[in-house]
Amino acid sequence: MSQTATRNTDIETALATAKESYVAANPRSLARYIDATAAMPGGNTRSVLHYAPFPLAMARAEGYRLWDLEGRDYIDFLGEYTAGIYGHSHPVIRAAIDGALDGGINFGATNRTEARFAAAICARFGLERVRLANTGTEANLLAISVARIFTKRPKVMVFDGGYHGAVLGFIGGGSPINAPFDYIVAPYNDSEATRALIARHAAELSVVVLEPMLGSGGCIPALPEFLHMIRAETQRTGALMILDEVMTSRLAPGGLQAVRGVRPDLTTLGKYIGGGLSFGAFGGRADIIDLFDPRRADALAHAGTFNNNVLTMAAGLAGLTQVYTPEAAIALNARGDALRARLNAACRAVDARLQFTGLGSMLAVHTTRRAIVTPADAAMGDQKLKELFFFDMLAAGIWLARRGMMTLCLPIDDAACDRLVAAVEGFLVARAALLAAPG
């Protein structure tokens, strides 16, 4: 057998053993999973949460801690895929939701909080106008739809490795369930190829949509010059630019766009901004968003039973104005930068094929030493080794995404960061032979 084949067999063996331990340690999660398959396909109603042999089920949470069905506790380094920035049941958020509940829910009317919340979002992210929705998916669908109407052009440019929602997924190119827009899928962080595609489709291109850092696609930041090129080329050709900051708005007080100095025509938001409840928003230029002004004879409609629901309005307003203040955003992201630097230093010290990409409070593990600039670079990592990392982290009491993404929530402190560093150092030692291989 070649060296590579032997190594692959060694990873398979280690992974099989790790999964056996996982199965033995989690009989209640297994039983729950089997029960769940009766009503839901594969026991699942949120695709990202499924993994083999079965997903771990959690029973409760507090601060930065989660407890599984067996009663074992984990440090929550997933932070609900960026939506859980406040940790579990933050007292200020909790009080805001309690207050809203006391006032009664489901008015079928406008309420006192929605305009204050909208104003706080506009002020924070430099938007002239905003509209609220229930998910990031909706926010992007609406933003793309209004861009097509505004420009009177059909085509939508997205990027390989991008993710904008349940029906707007472009990791690995695209998905049969995607909303049927006329897409052009461009290569992320490839300025020359993207510039050429924009030029080629200029007459028909309505909008270029991208994340300023690929989140689900592996925490790969857009190169600043790539963002600036797209801004310049969209302005030149009359297309709009949407920055999807559903995940990245947490990375600085004004979102990642403020750090990069790129002002898009529209911005989409979601996740933590709803205070941990369902949320989405799209906003930006008044001349575009005002197409929804219901006083206009030709107003566009934007419906949504829960767009202004009092629970999200209250939790979101309290969170953004009292808890995740600009100062808190700066401190949390500095903590994330320091943590990622420690993790990468530990990997480099033993020359392991392991690294952590990302910015601020978002990070993702990759099982390769090569510099990761594009999704193709990330795909060169050993996927089985990444799976082993996941199961080893669970065994060490670290909760993270199966695909290796981690985020920091506000309660995460130095002790929690030390525990993650210790868990990764343990992985580097226990799996040293597998991590020493080229790649």
Q: How many Å apart are CA 19 and CA 433, to the nearest integer?
A: 19
The single-letter code of the amino acid at 237 is T
Q: Which is nearer to ligand PLP, 164 or 302 (CB)?
A: 164
| Residue 244 vs 265, nearer CB to ligand PLP | 244
> CA–CA distance from 292 to each of 135, 246, 297, 303, 402 (Å)?
18, 21, 10, 10, 39
Over the window 89 to 128, marking each residue x when it contacts ligand PLP by CB under 6 A and - when it does not, the resulting string is ----------------------------------------
Q: Is 246 in the site for ligand PLP (CB under 6 A)?
A: yes
- Interaction mask 145-184, ligand PLP, x per CB under 6 A: ------------------xxxx------------------
Dihedral sign of CA atoms 320, 419, 427, 66 in order: negative
Helices and strands: H and E segment counts in the chain: 15, 16
Q: Closest distance between ligand PLP and the C-beta of residue 251, in Å?
A: 12
Which residues are CB-contacts of 416 (< 8 A; sequence separation ≥ 6)? 64, 75, 77
Interface map 263-292 toward ligand PLP (x if CB under 6 A): -------x---------x------------
Nearer to ligand PLP, 81 or 159 (CB): 81
The residue from 29, 113, 135, 361 that contacts ligand PLP (CB under 6 A) is 135
Amino acid at 43: G
Q: What are phi and psi of 77, to 5 degrees?
A: -95, 10
DSSP H or E stretch at residue 358? strand 355-359
- Under the criterion CB under 6 A, does residue 22 sit at the interface with ligand PLP? no
Min separation Cβ 304 and ligand PLP, Å:
13
Q: Which residue has the tokens 């109603």?
A: 45
Q: How many CA atoms lie within 13 A of 288 on its CB side?
A: 29
Q: How far is the CB of 407 from ligand PLP (least distance, A)?
A: 11
**Whole-number Å distance between alpha carbons of 76 and 74:** 6
Q: Please work out the total of residues on this chain that contact ligand PLP, with binding judged by CB under 6 A.
A: 17
- DSSP, res 126: T
- Identify which range of 59-67, 131-139, 173-181, 410-418 contacts ligand PLP by CB under 6 A: 131-139
- Which string of x and - marks every residue 205-244 that binds ligand PLP (by CB under 6 A)? ------x---xx---------------------------x
Residue 152 burial class via C-beta count within 10 angstroms: exposed 0-12, middle 13-18, buried 19 and up: exposed
Among candidates 299, 304, 249, 242, which has minimal Cα distance to 271?
249
* Residues in 352-411 that interact with ligand PLP by CB under 6 A: none
Question: Does 247 help bind ligand PLP (rule: CB under 6 A)?
Answer: yes
Which tokens sit at 188? 């992320």
Q: Which lies closer to ligand PLP via its Cβ, residue 336 or residue 434?
A: 336
Judge contact between 197 and 157, C-beta under 8 A. yes
Nearer to ligand PLP, 141 or 352 (CB): 141
Residue 215: CB minimum distance to ligand PLP, A: 4
Chain contacts with ligand PLP (rule: CB under 6 A): 81, 135-137, 140, 163-166, 211, 215-216, 244, 246-247, 270, 280
